[in-house]
Chain A
């Protein structure tokens, strides 16, 4: 799963989470509302009629309401009356004058459900009649529901199903939209990723995001052109230097070999020759490093017997090896070849740079060992020397993959070239890994792991 897919998965899950949270919060708020309403009696549109009724008692054969009950009635801005079984008002308090004092059974049936002359009313059955509490018009909304029970259950289930369908529809539409956005955004995000890695890309310039795609394409082309121009410039410069350097190197060698010349002149010629050779290496390294950095090196990978390649590198060094150095080659499985899919000249350069590095940085001499082996489907190299090694700070930087530039070291003035940088670039170009470590009592170990070709298949094929 790439970063764009991860982003959209996270986006979808977070949105589903937001919807769930939204529903939960709303249910909670509604619950809280009803709870508060219940606790404060707001939800109860009915006057505390039962309580009020209990406070109306017969005293001296007359109905009398208690002071507290009357105060409650006043506070509710309401009026009250009690009708006997004939519909006659036998007690009243605050009853508006315009209202009749006698009611028929039809009147009572009508206002008990709805309104009495626009006054919303509540009723309560008493032993001596019917208590009616009337409120200010518009202060209470009366509603009356009369539905067949056969209809109620399907209605409830229907509401539930409709709710669930709505939720699913919402999720489906959301996922569809997210998928469409992902589909149109993914090439753009991949383009940005390619841009950051300096790789070539071309986005289709159509649809709603055509302008963005076109912008990214131009940015990519601009950066690639810039990289190409830089690489070509370096290539051109290194090419132009080669012929003059050949002449310098050639004549310096001739002067050095000319026994008839004074010794001091020959020494000077030798210095020129050594520096020319260093320049030659630097030019080649700069050119290669630039190409690897801008992914311009042609991928000409082929099956390579890495054991034989290691022998070739070692033999080149052994042919000209000063006495103070020793090089040993060890095979993990002697007599068996190890194959990997790679660029031969680059892998040759990788090993050559590492052995050369051990020689260059240990002028007093050291033992160098190169072990090559196979671990399941990984080819490994362990290049060790018994030299000075590398200080902890640089070791950490190297293992972090921080590329070394060809600069002068801070403080001590020691100069180093592109050697390790190129090694890291070559390992990266072969999808491998590289580890640097110190060895006891002193020295450096460089372990490299590269994907190997299926050994059984290749070996049997060759036989």
Chain B
């Protein structure tokens, strides 16, 4: 993932240097920068980056205009990084085609996390596997390997695991998991979700009644604890 090329666009040189530094320390080697809208368009066309981090308010061609121009021909992931934090600004950003929106001032770790999530979603790795305490989940094959046993995953179980894996180490609310399976109108699905979770635990945990990989947070949701992911 660290070999992906990221273009950072902002009219503030100091901020560009800082963001570049954050990514370089995190292991990203291909960081491009642009200080104006025109330059951003040129770099995007010439270098074809894998992700663009774009400021909105810039002299000349602003971020939203750049995004609209990009979206005419490309689906490249774009994260808007801006000082405009109002709800309506976010809505405008997403309507213009942004994949994510982060408001300044931001925590470097949050920026890195968001970028990684976007890259994982946009460029899914082949042979994705989740290494858990007692099992290994092969997301491509939709299969769990626990000891010498192999368990196939149903479509819904796979969706749930992918959602939990996207947010590994963090709690995913019951509603978000239900939403991942059923879409917008998930109300009433919670009891079915607990059945799926029970079935998943039977496949990935040594002792499903004392889970260590798929942990419940009562009244809130679930967390997937991974041993390592490739």
Q: A and B from one assembly?
A: yes
List A residues at the B interface (Cβ < 8 Å): 239-240, 242-243, 245-251, 253-254, 257, 276-277, 279-280, 283-284, 287, 298, 300, 305, 307-308, 311-312, 314-315, 318-319, 328-331, 335, 337, 345, 459, 462-463
Given contacts A245-B105, A277-B107, A280-B105, whether A328 and B218 have CB atoms under 8 Å apart is: yes
List B residues at the A interface (Cβ < 8 Å): 12, 14-15, 18-19, 21-22, 25, 83-85, 87-88, 103-109, 170-176, 185, 187-188, 190-191, 217-221
Q: A239 — which chain B residues lie within 8 A by C-beta?
A: 83-84
What are 13 A-B pairs at a CB distance below 8 A? A242-B105, A246-B106, A247-B14, A248-B105, A250-B22, A307-B175, A311-B219, A311-B220, A318-B171, A330-B219, A331-B219, A337-B187, A462-B187
Q: B172 — which chain A residues lie within 8 A by C-beta?
A: 315
A335–B105 contact, CB under 8 A? no
Given A251, A253, A284, A287, which contacts B107 in the complex, CB threshold below 8 Å?
A: A253
The SS class assigned to the B binding surface is mixed
Number of cross-chain contacts by CB at 8 Å:
102
Q: B176 — which chain A residues lie within 8 A by C-beta?
A: 312
Q: A319 — which chain B residues lie within 8 A by C-beta?
A: 170-171
Q: Roughly how many angstroms separate A331 CA and B190 CA in the complex, as a whole number?
A: 13
Given contacts A251-B18, A308-B174, A463-B187, whether A329 and B220 have CB atoms under 8 Å apart is: yes
Given contacts A247-B18, A315-B221, whether A308 and B105 have CB atoms under 8 Å apart is: no
Q: B173 — which chain A residues lie within 8 A by C-beta?
A: 308, 311-312, 315
Among all A-B residue pairs, the 7 with the closest Cβ atoms:
A329-B219, A308-B175, A315-B171, A242-B83, A245-B105, A311-B173, A242-B104
Q: Roughly how many angstroms separate A328 CA and B219 CA in the complex, as a whole number?
A: 8
Query: Which of B104, B217, B218: most chain A Cβ within 10 A?
Result: B104
Q: B84 — which chain A residues lie within 8 A by C-beta?
A: 239
Q: B217 — which chain A residues lie within 8 A by C-beta?
A: 314-315, 318
A245–B104 contact, CB under 8 A? yes
CB distance from B222 to the nearest CB of A (A): 10
Q: Roughly how many angstroms separate A251 CA and B105 CA in the complex, as a whole number?
A: 12
Q: A247 — which chain B residues lie within 8 A by C-beta?
A: 12, 14-15, 18
Q: Roughly how many angstroms separate A397 CA and B200 CA in the complex, as a whole number?
A: 52
Q: Roughly how many angstroms separate A335 CA and B182 CA in the complex, as a whole number?
A: 16
